[in-house]
Amino acid sequence: MSSHALSHPRFFVVELGGTWTRLSVASDVEQIVDARTQMIRTTTPQATLEWIFEQVSDQAGRPLEGIAVASFGPLNLERGIISMHSPKLAWRGFNLRQAFTERFPRALFSLTTDTQASALGEAVHGIGHDQGVIAYVTVGTGVGLGLASSQTGILSTSGHPEFGHIRVSRRMGDLFQGVCSFHGDCLEGLVSGPALAVRAGVPDATELPDSDSIWSDVCNELGSALATLTLTVAPNRIILGGGIASRPFLHEHVRNSMDRQIGVYLDGAGHPTSDTRIARPSLGVNSALIGAFAHLDRKFQSKDRTES
Ligand SMILES: [Zn+2]
């Protein structure tokens, strides 16, 4: 009998977000609920990790058998190092894997990106359950993509997609140059929260009314991106989340734009219709924590199978 057959191991799950760091100690995903998660603002690596480690120290008693981290990117997943081009300057080159494994040498460690974790969370425990390959697209401060299925876990585990930086088709005559410091008018440079604020001349994209004319261009650009995603990966579901995409009117316009840009080409090809393909997230703010838990649990189960 395996050592954890009677009770599931206890995992420490961390979402290292660009703005907030959240964590939870859980033996199953039901324990990851808002009331039981703790959070602080993500500042420097030193201060943020010191706080994380303090929370672990407070968990005396049953041993912690694994630590799962879902981090902002870009990062080198194999080496566990945050990219030297990360917009978060203090974190450039920081070795997450080393920091956690040196502090907890006996715990199993897993690392993925926050968006990939959200994709896996929705695929295993959310609206993407048993849907085959699902795509999770987040549109907020940045634009990200994760691909996962409940059967095979996260797709592309050695690297991660950088979907936010693809080119999209734009309205003729739209001269906005975009805000991406690398590409100007890539997808993220056009439709992220900071892009919308500059585009509309407001301090914060949350102040933009739904009636603003900017949304027409934004929905068409997102429709172009999702058409590319559909034609490239053919996911069974596209879960469209994030602060910008949470506007109630937006999904329908993006869906119509995607349909228009694909045309009739996929009719009869066995693809889901766009009515069912684009969905809203179902796990709320906990999607990345739940996905990080699922990611580590898969690793734990396969290790246990290998050892038994
Ligand atoms: Zn870019």
Look at residue 19 and give its three-state secondary structure: coil
How far, in Å, CA of 70 to CA of 114, rounded?
5
| Helix intervals (H) in the chain | 45-57, 96-103, 114-125, 187-191, 193-200, 214-233, 250-262, 274-277, 287-307
Q: How far is the CA of 164 from the centre of ligand 1 (A)?
A: 7
* H, E, C per residue of 74-137: CEECCCCEECCCCCCHHHCCCEHHHHHHHHCCCCEEEEEEHHHHHHHHHHHHCCCCCCCCEEEE
**Chain segment 287-307, per-residue pLDDT in tens:** 999 999 999 999 999 877 666
pLDDT of residue 59: 67
* 10-114+285-307 fold: Nucleotidyltransferase; domain 5 (3.30.420)
pLDDT of residue 37: 86
pLDDT of residue 151: 93
pLDDT of residue 7: 67
Domain spans in the chain, listed from the N-terminal domain onward: 10-114+285-307, 127-282
Name residues of the chain where pLDDT drops below 70.
1-7, 59-62, 157, 305-308
Q: How far is the CA of 182 from the centre of ligand 1 (A)?
A: 5
pLDDT of residue 18: 87
Q: How far is the CA of 262 from the centre of ligand 1 (A)?
A: 24
Q: How far is the CA of 248 from the centre of ligand 1 (A)?
A: 26
pLDDT of residue 5: 42
pTM of the model: 0.92
Q: Considering only CA atoms, which of 148, 145, 150 is closest in space to residue 134?
A: 148
Q: How far is the CA of 252 from the centre of ligand 1 (A)?
A: 26
Q: How far is the CA of 297 from the centre of ligand 1 (A)?
A: 33
Q: How far is the CA of 167 from the centre of ligand 1 (A)?
A: 9
Q: How far is the CA of 222 from the centre of ligand 1 (A)?
A: 14
pLDDT of residue 223: 97
User: 127-282 maps to which CATH number?
Assistant: 3.30.420.40
pLDDT of residue 157: 67
Q: 37 and 21 in contact (C-beta within 8 Å)?
A: no
pLDDT of residue 267: 82
**Structure-block tokens of residue 278:** 């684009």
pLDDT of residue 82: 96
